[in-house]
Structure 1
Amino acid sequence: MDLANKQFLMELLQTPSPSGQEMLIQHKWIHYVKPFADEIRTDHAGNAIGVLNPNAPFKVLLAGHCDEIALVINRIDENGYLFFDKVGGINEKAAVGMMVTVIGYNGIRTGVIGVNAQHHGGLKDGFGLEDLFIDCGYKTKQEAEQEVQIGDLIVYKRNPELLNNQYIAGRGLDNRTGAFIVAEVLRRVKELGCQVGVYAASTVNEETNLGGAYFAASAIEPTMAIACDVTFATDYPGVNKNKYGDVQLEKGPVLAKGAPINIKMNQLLESTAKELAISLQYELTPRMTGTDADKMRLTGKGVPVALVSLPLRYMHSPVETVSIKDIADEIELLAQMIAKLTGKESLNPLEK
């Protein structure tokens, strides 16, 4: 990645995009993609889609979701403290003591997730989100309600950081890195040239209901679809690799294998990786993938899907960590594979 592209990724990672309220990040994504896309499309779900060769009958859909896990206000007490529930897979243990950004109906506010001092007994064993609260400095419920209300969303107040100039750490790399990757694949395919239609979608709602992917695939009716998400790296202390597999940062993109995945699409990706000398890793998805691929696969008459994932440490924490090299490798792998397509490929596993 050159500096300009890295700056765009950092901008995405600094932009709040809680699931269900992705508008701000989508406007930034559209602004970036517009100069090299033939078309920009949006839909009622809130997806943003950059298109190359919109008239080509063979259509490749790339989906990288831009939404992040979040919190949502469910009660305001008489002293102005905010209580909350989860939007997506929030880890309550990681939330303790964090600063947060409250996206209030009347403006953005900063708060802290308060925690009972250890001197006063600390948190009880087995605590949940219902035991935590947010302090924005309000003194009364009436004061708080001038700025926030039930249903307002909250994200951790955490900026992305470079680690040893090789890794990026921060909140919501799951999966704003994916939204970045599909944008960059579109830009790279534009440079390389291609014979097929390419639809790069920054999808919404993946962390909560996968609805954005369903909207996108239903409207586009792709010939093939690739979900670009993250997966669990297991290369740090305390992880049972016998149980969770061996996935490492800087060892390349991760291909899913399992019943939902089209074998021929994986073969295309593997042959391209071999030509480019890009190393690949694998994960198993025997029943479902838990990603946008699941919804895209079941639209229309059925869509062949693949899942290409970025190894990520510390999933659903405020310090998710990925490798810049893996991002670059995934972009080149996908772009080169798409650029080689003639539009005559059969994805039927029973045909040679």
Structure 2
Amino acid sequence: MEKESKAFLMELLRTPSPSGMEMKIQKKWMNYVKEFADEVRTDSAGNVIGIINPHAPFRIMLAGHCDEIGMIVSHINDQGFVYVDKVGGISHKPAIGMKVEVLGANGTITGVIGANAEHHGGVKDGFEFSDLFIDCGARNREEISKLVQVGDFAVYKREAEILQNERLSGRGLDNRTGAFIVAEVLKRLSHTKPRVGVYAVSTVNEETNMGGAYFAGAGIKPNMAIACDVTFATDYPGVDRKHGDVKLDHGPVLAKGAPINWKINRWLEESAKRLQMDIQYELTPRRTGTDADQIRLTGLGVPIALVSLPLRYMHSPVETASFKDIDQEIDLLTDMILQLTGKENLHPVED
């Protein structure tokens, strides 16, 4: 991976982007892609769209969501402790003893999620998210209310780090890695000029309602679309193999199931063979649980595929992925798009 590209990825991972508050990260994404895109657009949902060949009649849309799971302030008690609710599928179990950044109305402040000492009985069994509280050091409600309000967001205070063997670990790899990947595919294609229009979208709200993907699909009206997200790696202790066989460093993951257009998958497989690249598979029999589900239902219907990055420890503060898999996913998508002529027939029942 180029030094500039890796620096951009790390900058995205440093930028808090809880679902519903993606403005800051979207500005950074927009400033990056405008250096090589033919055109950059935004919409009222908060999506940012980088485009190559905007006048081409055949349009492919790549979607990677930039939002992350987090917390939202629900209550402040008289002693100044801040209570929170979930934003997306965040678990309460890893939260005990973590540092957080509260994205307050008047700036960001640091807090800690309190934990009862073992000497006093420790954390109770069966605790829930509503039992969590953030201690920002305030003496009372009046003091903290000058900095934090109900409805403000919070995320874990956790810097991304590079582990051994080029493994990347941090908060919110789901799915700021996807937003990064679609930007890098656009960057690669800007040097080669594909024969189709390419619309790379950093989408919002995937973790909560997937509304960003619907807005983007409805506005672009693509002929085909690929969602770029993450999926569950199963190559670490404690994972039941009934959840599949997906490993880090073994390549991108293609979804198979009712929502997926088999022709797009075939073209991706042909590119993988051409690149001598390993690919993996996951099953999505009913729905994908990603932006692809909403894009598919826009307009007259959009043929979709899902290409995912293997990810360990999903929705935790230490999500872990492989730079090799990231690079290979960029290569795979770039090669596949370069083969498109703009005359492809995506109807499954027609040759």
Q: Does 1:47 align with 2:47?
A: yes
Partner of 1:166: 166
Partner of 1:3: 3
Amino acid aligned to 1:26: Q
Q: Does 1:334 align with 2:333?
A: yes
Amino acid aligned to 1:137: G
Amino acid aligned to 2:18: P
Using the alignment, how far apart are the partners of 1:263 and 1:347 within structure 2? 9
Partner of 1:185: 185
Using the alignment, how far apart are the partners of 1:131 and 1:296 within structure 2? 37
Q: CA deviation at 1:192?
A: 2.3
- TM-score of the superposed pair, with normalisation by structure 2: 0.99
Deviations 1:33-67 (A, max 9, x none): 00100000000000011000001110000000000
Partner of 2:94: 94
Query: Identity across aligned pairs (percent)?
Result: 66
C-alpha contact 1:102 1:155 (8 A) present in aligned 2:
yes
Amino acid aligned to 1:98: M
Q: CA deviation at 1:191?
A: 1.6
Deviations 1:130-156 (A, max 9, x none): 111000000010001101100000000
SS state at 2:75 partner: strand
Partner of 2:254: 255
Using the alignment, how far apart are the partners of 2:20 and 2:153 within structure 1? 9
Q: CA deviation at 1:165?
A: 4.7
Using the alignment, how far apart are the partners of 1:311 and 1:102 within structure 2? 29
Using the alignment, how far apart are the partners of 1:138 and 1:192 within structure 2? 56
Partner of 2:222: 222
Partner of 2:111: 111
Segments of 5+ residues of structure 1 without an aligned counterpart are none
Using the alignment, how far apart are the partners of 1:165 and 1:17 within structure 2? 28
- TM-score of the superposed pair, with normalisation by structure 1: 0.99
SS state at 2:255 partner: strand
Q: CA deviation at 1:260?
A: 0.2
Using the alignment, how far apart are the partners of 1:11 and 1:258 within structure 2? 35
After TM superposition, the structure 1 = structure 2 runs for residues 261-280 of structure 1, keeping only pairs within 5 Å, are 261-280=260-279
After TM superposition, the structure 1 = structure 2 runs for residues 1-352 of structure 1, keeping only pairs within 5 Å, are 1-241=1-241, 243-352=242-351
Deviations 1:90-112 (A, max 9, x none): 11001111000000001100000
Using the alignment, how far apart are the partners of 1:118 and 1:100 within structure 2? 22
- 210-219 or 190-199, which deviates more: 190-199
Using the alignment, how far apart are the partners of 1:73 and 1:296 within structure 2? 31
Using the alignment, how far apart are the partners of 1:46 and 1:62 within structure 2? 16
Q: CA deviation at 1:332?
A: 0.6
Amino acid aligned to 1:199: Y
Amino acid aligned to 1:122: G
Using the alignment, how far apart are the partners of 2:72 and 2:45 within structure 1? 20
C-alpha contact 1:189 1:336 (8 A) present in aligned 2:
no
SS state at 1:332 partner: helix
Amino acid aligned to 1:97: G
Using the alignment, how far apart are the partners of 1:299 and 1:230 within structure 2? 22
C-alpha contact 1:26 1:48 (8 A) present in aligned 2:
yes
Amino acid aligned to 1:161: E
Q: CA deviation at 1:261?
A: 0.2
Segments of 5+ residues of structure 2 without an aligned counterpart are none
CA RMSD across the alignment? 0.6
Q: CA deviation at 1:125?
A: 1.0
SS state at 1:191 partner: coil
Amino acid aligned to 1:264: K
SS state at 1:27 partner: helix
Amino acid aligned to 1:68: E
C-alpha contact 1:72 1:151 (8 A) present in aligned 2:
yes
Amino acid aligned to 1:88: G
